[in-house]
């Protein structure tokens, strides 16, 4: 009786629903399933952050409607964080707004700047929200392939100039989900120049900016010359501090772009619960050792998984960042994932779920203890031996 709007029909059904059902079935059958599918940290939110929230909840002034742009002190804490970790100066008044998780900001940005028929450049494979938010704004997604031979960076000079001229936004995401690739300085400079030349908003999704290994540091795009002319950077406390459930992130960079996003937000939501912002302040102002420790845990798991995969004949590189391993598989990704679940009881995400150029790959998340990852490798060895 109630037909979905045409724009919603254009958003593909949740591909992972079928896999989810299969996983539940295996569990019901008594299988001990190891889920390396979801990108949700297993580690707890650090204690001092939880305590800050508990204290804040008791304060009456924190129980009211928050401001749209976020508490001044939260934005101040973001500014200190960027200055301390990236050497980037941000004005808390003009160059930062709080978000209800960065996904919220990413989903609302196209509504602020995209007219029906405008192009939005999105990576393929990529985080599905770039595609969905473009469609919801009436825009046309233009998929930029991320190919292994180009280190999973899009080739900007392959984008036809008519499309580049009609594009309003380009979404980029480094360190990258799902490929775990990182951006070179040359690429970031090229992307900024491309956006300046074509008057395109550079929306950089920096959700994994702090999840780095082997002394690598993933730069903020705002560290580069002229970046503030075109860039909005989306950032989040979700992955940095194991706070996915808290729903707090922020956007920073170009003032005009932030104002546009805030105009949408003031008409949709009423900001982030201030007690959660107080927890965010405690996180951002806390000891950076907390982040180092989280990265140490992931890098240890990464070594176990990647060494194991390579030993049993699957090809995966050790990522320098993110908590994902992007692994080439010898068949269609959905087929591989289904078989792996059936015979080894392991869940991973088929690459094709992130776009057609993700076909032939599977994404493993490093969000389980190392003992469990070791067991996953053993099971995989048996599984591949029998196939
Ligand atoms: C996890 C993730 C986000 C957003 O997370 P929030 O919890 O909404 O801040 C954004 N982009 C990518 C690529 C992610 O993996």
Q: Is residue 322 lining ligand 1, measured as CB closer than 6 Å?
A: no
Q: Is residue 127 lining ligand 1, measured as CB closer than 6 Å?
A: yes
Ligand 1 centre and the CA of 39: distance in Å?
Answer: 9
Q: Is residue 320 lining ligand 1, measured as CB closer than 6 Å?
A: no
Ligand 1 centre and the CA of 171: distance in Å?
Answer: 13
Q: Write out pLDDT tens, residues 78-120.
A: 999 999 999 999 999 999 999 999 999 999 999 999 999 999 9
Residue 16 pLDDT > 80, yes or no? no
CA distance 383 to 340: 7
Class of domain 6-44+289-385: alpha beta
Distances in Å between the Cα of 201 and the Cα atoms of 32, 167, 197 are: 46, 9, 11
Distances in Å between the Cα of 101 and the Cα atoms of 47, 106, 252, 294 are: 20, 9, 13, 20
Q: Is residue 103 lining ligand 1, measured as CB closer than 6 Å?
A: yes
pLDDT at residue number 247: 98
Closest of 12, 19, 127, 5 to residue 348, by C-alpha: 19
Residue closest via CA to ligand 1's atom 14 equals 207
Would you give the distance in Å from CA 346 to the centre of its chain?
23
Q: Write out pLDDT tens, residues 274-323.
A: 999 999 999 999 999 999 999 999 999 999 999 999 999 998 999 999 99
CA distance 134 to 129: 8
Ligand 1 centre and the CA of 103: distance in Å?
Answer: 6
CA distance 203 to 174: 11
CA distance 67 to 270: 7
Question: Which residue carries 């940005």 as its tokens?
Answer: 109
Please tell me whether the overall predicted TM-score, pTM, comes out greater than 0.85 for this model.
yes
pLDDT at residue number 387: 61
Q: Is residue 209 lining ligand 1, measured as CB closer than 6 Å?
A: no
Ligand 1 centre and the CA of 347: distance in Å?
Answer: 20
Residue 162 pLDDT > 80, yes or no? yes
Ligand 1 centre and the CA of 136: distance in Å?
Answer: 19
Residue closest via CA to ligand 1's atom 2 equals 207
CA distance 208 to 65: 30
Ligand 1 atom nearest the C-alpha of 104 is 8
Confidence band of 197 (pLDDT split at 50, 70, 90): very high
Q: Is residue 237 lining ligand 1, measured as CB closer than 6 Å?
A: no
Q: Is residue 367 lining ligand 1, measured as CB closer than 6 Å?
A: no
Q: Write out pLDDT tens, residues 332-352.
A: 999 999 999 999 999 999 999
Ligand 1 centre and the CA of 13: distance in Å?
Answer: 20
Given this chain, do its domains 6-44+289-385 and 47-284 carry the same CATH topology? no
Ligand 1 centre and the CA of 60: distance in Å?
Answer: 31
Q: Is residue 233 lining ligand 1, measured as CB closer than 6 Å?
A: no
Q: Which strands sit side by side in the sheet containing 315-316, from one edge to the other?
A: 315-316, 324-328, 361-365, 349-350
CB 100 within 8 A of CB 306: no
> For a pocket test of ligand 1, which of 101, 102, 353 has the largest count of ligand atoms closer than 8 A to its C-beta?
102
Ligand 1 centre and the CA of 238: distance in Å?
Answer: 7
Q: Is residue 175 lining ligand 1, measured as CB closer than 6 Å?
A: no
> For a pocket test of ligand 1, which of 108, 109, 238, 245 has the largest count of ligand atoms closer than 8 A to its C-beta?
238
Ligand 1 centre and the CA of 240: distance in Å?
Answer: 11
CATH number of 47-284, picked from 3.90.245.10, 3.40.640.10, 3.30.470.20, 1.10.3720.10:
3.40.640.10
Q: Is residue 206 lining ligand 1, measured as CB closer than 6 Å?
A: no
Residue 14 pLDDT > 80, yes or no? no
Handedness of CA 289, 295, 297, 303 (dihedral sign): negative
Residue 386 pLDDT > 80, yes or no? no
Distant-in-sequence, close-in-space partners of 326: CB < 8 Å, separation ≥ 6:
178, 179, 180, 181, 316, 317, 319, 351, 361, 362, 363
- Domain-by-domain residue ranges, the chain? 6-44+289-385, 47-284
Residue 20 pLDDT > 90, yes or no? no
- What DSSP string runs through 136-189? HTT-EEEEEE--GGGTT---GGGS-HHHHHHEEEEEEESS-TTT-----HHHHH
Ligand 1 centre and the CA of 313: distance in Å?
Answer: 31
pLDDT at residue number 198: 98
CB 173 within 8 A of CB 221: no
């Amino acid at each position: 009786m109630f037909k979905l709007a045409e724009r919603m029909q254009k958003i593909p059904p949740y591909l992972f629903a079928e896999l989810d059902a299969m996983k539940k079935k295996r569990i019901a059958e008594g299988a001990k399933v190891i889920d390396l599918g979801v990108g949700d940290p297993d580690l707890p939110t650090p204690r001092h952050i939880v305590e800050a929230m508990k204290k804040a909840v008791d304060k009456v002034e924190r129980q009211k409607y928050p401001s749209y742009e976020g508490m001044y002190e939260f934005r101040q804490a973001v500014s200190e964080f960027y200055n301390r970790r990236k050497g980037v100066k941000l004005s808390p008044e003009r160059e930062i707004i709080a978000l209800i998780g960065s996904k919220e900001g990413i989903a609302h940005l196209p509504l602020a700047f995209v007219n029906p028929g405008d192009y939005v450049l999105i990576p393929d494979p990529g985080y599905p929200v770039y595609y969905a938010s473009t469609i919801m704004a009436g825009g046309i997604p233009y998929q930029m392939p991320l190919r292994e031979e180009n280190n999973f960076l899009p080739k900007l000079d392959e984008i036809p100039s008519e499309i580049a001229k009609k594009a309003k936004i380009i979404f980029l995401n480094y360190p990258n989900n799902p490929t775990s690739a990182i951006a070179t300085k040359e690429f970031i400079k090229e992307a900024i120049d491309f956006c300046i030349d074509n008057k395109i908003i550079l929306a950089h999704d920096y959700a994994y900016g702090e999840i780095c290994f082997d002394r690598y540091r993933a730069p903020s795009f705002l560290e580069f010359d002229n970046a503030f002319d075109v860039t909005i950077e989306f950032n989040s406390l979700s992955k940095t501090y194991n706070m996915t459930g808290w729903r707090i992130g922020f956007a920073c960079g170009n003032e005009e772009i932030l104002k546009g996003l805030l105009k949408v937000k003031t008409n949709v939501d009423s900001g982030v619960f201030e007690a959660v912002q107080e927890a965010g302040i405690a996180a951002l102002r806390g000891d950076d050792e907390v982040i180092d420790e989280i990265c140490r845990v992931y890098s240890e798991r990464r070594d176990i998984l990647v060494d194991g995969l390579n030993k049993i004949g699957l090809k995966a590189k050790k990522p320098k960042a993110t908590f994902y391993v992007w692994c080439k598989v010898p068949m269609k990704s959905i087929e591989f994932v289904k078989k792996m679940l059936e015979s080894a009881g392991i869940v991973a995400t088929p690459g094709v779920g992130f776009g057609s150029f993700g076909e032939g790959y599977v994404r493993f998340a490093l969000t389980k203890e190392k003992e469990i990852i070791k067991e996953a490798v053993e099971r995989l060895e048996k599984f591949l031996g029998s196939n």
